[in-house]
Every structure is written in structure tokens, then in C-alpha cells.
Structure 1
Amino acid sequence: MEQRPDILCIGSVLWDIIGRSPSTLRLGSDVPGRITRLPGGVAMNIAHTLARFGQRPAVLTAIGRDAEGEALIAACKPLGVLTDFAYRSTDLPTDRYMAIEGGAGLVAAIADAHSLEAAGAKILAPLGDGRLGRAEQPWAGPVALDGNLTQALLAEIAQSPLFARADLRIAPASPGKAERLLPLLSHPRATFYVNLEEAGLLCQTRFDGAEAAAGALMARGARRVLVTDGGRLCADACDGEILCRIPPPVMVRRVTGAGDTFMAAHIVAEDRGLARAGALERALQAAADYVSGEVG
């Protein structure tokens, strides 16, 4: 029997294959390190963190019926992530993400989310067939949406009655996919979570800091936006007011998934009634704990 989730996470759920080394890496480096394979993808990372904070998240995504897909479904269960509503295809393989991280952070990454893109609007079926809502009675809870969806599908979501009552929380997935979110930028129920580079791509310019980037996104029509900049000042802009905080200083041991952790922690903090300043501080602390390796 399908369980009723607290929040929907729409986007990529795949295998993260991460190679990490404490060494400083250059082109052609061949160094010792660790290689891990874990459930990942933006939607999955957000869902996992939400579950860790006591929420019951469900993912709307595409997962193959291949051996990797079956293993991924099995791995999601003990993490508290509901996969009951995922689109399962016999024709599409399970997606993968591969990254190399060195002592100075992310060196390079490749996201193979072609199956998610090919599945398209099929992943949204539960929102219209009565399992999670219908056009006349749409889902009224929070939705975490990631930019691994195609621009066409994101544009469809921006106009869809299925999302008319949703609290949309949106992340680009990567700088290379930030511009896909332009159709949603002025959505009246959207909150954007972007880093400084992604903010610059959405505004087609470069910024020196998060506060300026947040102000520019508001000027372009965003209702609310949170801009992060690694260990530097973070900004939360809403209703013409920009709130800024500096993240706690920590030793960085990993970076893949940090932004997703920040977003999930912020959603939970606001769901628990924290005001803007408290929610921002809680999210920054959660992200700091994550990159320092204090949490799994």
C-alpha cells in the first residue's frame, strides 16, 4: 500500500559514484583515494536529508527495472525515502552520476540523467491520477524540484494546474542546468535555492557576492531566493528584504550534496515554524556539518 508522503521530491534519483582523495589534483593525476557508490541525485539527496530530519519524503523520478534500479530501490528504503510513486521503465536504464573530489573540492563531474529526461512528464502521473492529487484538487504541500528535468517539462510545470497549490522549492542541480529554470523564475509560489555561479547564469552576468545576486534575482521577478557562496556570506531575499548570514567555519572534507543538504534543512526548519533568520542559520549549520563529515 502506498504511504502518504509529507513532501514530494521531483527530479534525479540515481547512483552517485564518487572518487575522493585528500591530494591536490591536476589534469592527469593518478592518486590513492576512496571510491564510493551511494544513492544520489538532487531529488534523492534532498529526500534523504528530509527523512533524516523526521519527514516522510517521496520521490517522483525515473528508475529503471534493471539490476541497478532494483538495487537503488532497495537502498532507498532504509533511508526513509518512499519510491512507491517512481516511474519504473523496462526500456530506460537507471541513471548515474560520477564525480572526482580532491583536497581543494570538486574537480569534475558528469551527470548521466538521460533516462529521467526521456521519461519526461510520465514521472508526474501520480499528481494527476488521484494517487497524490488531480487537476481539480492538486497537491497542496511542499515540493522540492530539481533542474535535471528538461526545460520543456519545467516550462510545463510552471503553467500546470497540478502545481497551483504547491509550495515549490527549486534547485538548479548544477550550474550547467541553471538556465532551464527561467520559465519558473517569476512563479508566485516558488522559492529558489542557487549558488553564486547559478545566480549569475540566471541573470546572465557575474556577481561578487550573494547579497548582490539575491537582489538581482528579485529584480528579475523571483518571489524568494536563497543564494549560497561556499563558506562566504549567504543571502535570503524575500519581499524586498535581504537577510544575510555567514556559514560556520569548518574543515571541508566533501562537497557533493552540500547544497541539497542546505535546501532540505531549510525546508524542515521553516516547516517547524522557525522564522527566516533561524531557518537560515539552521540550514547553514546542517550544510557545515555535512561538508565537514560530521553527518553520514
Structure 2
Amino acid sequence: MDQTAATAQTLDLHRLELRYVELRVPDTAAITRLAQSIAVNGQLVPCIAVAGEGSAAILLDGYRRVAALRQLGKDTAEVECWDGDPIQGLLGVLARTRSRAFVPIEEALLLRELLSIGSLSQHDIARRCGRDVSWVSRRLQLITALSDGLLTAVRQGKVSTWAAVRILAPLARANSTHAEQLLESLHTTPLTTRQLATWFAQYQGASRTVRERMVEAPQLLLNSLTAKADEKSADRLREGPEGEVLADIRILDAVSARLRRRLYALAPSPVDLPPAVTAAVSALQPALAALQCHLRKGYSDEIARDSSSRADTASARSGAARDQPAVEAVA
């Protein structure tokens, strides 16, 4: 298939066969931005198609551009018509994805389509797309655990690709029933990406019984967390700065007790402690002495000295950091 020789031509939109529209993830905001750009500058990037039945052309890439043109009431599109069949065309589109903003699930759907309609193996597809086999395998794994219902929800824009890949896919691999229940709940009570991330973090640390309730009514958990946060905020407001100081003192007391236990577990005898640990513990003594001094003499002088000490320490650390060798990039 000679792509370099292909030139763009103007085609009526009704001649474009949208055969692979179900493999694309809709993005209303992106289509609107694209329509605004086309209205000002015209269609700068042609769509890509191969010949179909009769005068039709099978659209391979440019589904958002077609949607934007229709939004503007246009009847034609600039289309680059490639030679070859749809399989060759899809392979060519995938080969161009390094410079084109496909989302991973779209690439995975295109790969699955190629495997289903052709006689190509993953190795063949990887070679002809200019990728390695591991890339093909990783993309396919994104949708392996996703049910048809979840993929449909993603394609229809009801579930974001982020939620599908980061939350629903891992959940489906661990418990497919819970993934389906959560998806059903999201149909009736949609959640934002941040809410889903919060929900999943709580789910991972919950017991089996609690998880059952969480997937049935995810909004209840979020409402409960919001109520607790509001209650803590009200408590802080009611107790004022005095309450914050008391809370800090309780934290210091708890940390001190934990530190003593860990030091004893590390070395029952102080002489056996590593020098670095002994030095770090000794460095705490001035801070504790300064705190007691605050209570006896006042705050202003100690705060000034403490700020100066922190500045000197930060400067020393910065100088030490500059003397360190550069950290090499890790692949």
C-alpha cells in the first residue's frame, strides 16, 4: 500500500462508510474544539480512508473530524484515500499512532479488530505497525478483562477510559461480579474520576462484607466520607488554634512512643544503635529544648533563632546536593 503517493481529495460525507466508529471513544469537548478550529482555519488534516463498495470509502481515521464537520453543517471532507484493503489501512493507521493522539483503548480495539478479521498474528501486526510484540500484548491486555458491557459504556462515553483502565479493569480481573455491579451503579449514579479514585482506594482496604455494600451503592460511601470530613472541619473550627496545638502534642506523644518501641526493637542497648540513628536522635534534643524554652520565656526570640537555624540547614543541604553526581535516567 503506497501511502506516500496518496493525495487528499474532497469527498461528500455521505460517501464515507463509518465502519469502525464503534472502535473509537467519543470526546464531545474535543469535537467541539476541532469544529471551532475548522471554522477558523478550515480542515488542516485530511481524513484517511480506503476504497469500499461502489463509490463508498471506508473511513479509517478522522472520525472526530467528520463529527466536527457535521457539527458545522458541512457536506464534504478532505480525505486521503489509500490503496489496499481495510486490514492494510488499519495497520498503516496504527503505525502512525506515535504522532497521533489515540487513547490506549482505541489502539487495543483496533488491534483486536485486526486479529478478528485477518489471518495475522500478534507478531505480524507488531512488525507491520513498527512496534514490538510486547506493545501489542500490553494493549490487548487492557481490554481482556473488560466485558462487552463495559467496552460499550466506554465507546458511548458513559465511562471514561481512565476509569476503565485504572479502576474497572483491575476490579474485573479480581472480581468480575463486582465490576459489573459497579458499572450498573454508574449508569444510574455517575461519579467523577476523583470520586471513583477515592472509592477504589477505600474498596481495596475494605473487608469482603463492606465491599459488597460498596459496589451496590458507591455513592453512600462517598457521602459518608464527605460527612466525616465536614465533621472534622467543624471540630477544627470549634476547637480553634488551641485544639490544633493539643492535636499536635498528642501526635508528638504517639510518635515518641512508637519511636521508642522501634529503637528498642532495633537495638535493646543504646550502644548498639547505628551511629546515624544516634546522631538523628541527638538532633531532636535542641528542638525539644526550644519547645520548653517557648513555654518558659516566650516565643519571638526562639522563633527567630529557629527560622535562622532552618535557613542554615537548608543552605547546607542545598550545597551538599549540588556536590552530588547527577542522577542517571532510568529506562
Output the TM-score relative to the length of structure 2.
0.27
Structure with more of its chain in helix, by fraction: 2
Structure with the greater alpha carbon radius of gyration? 2
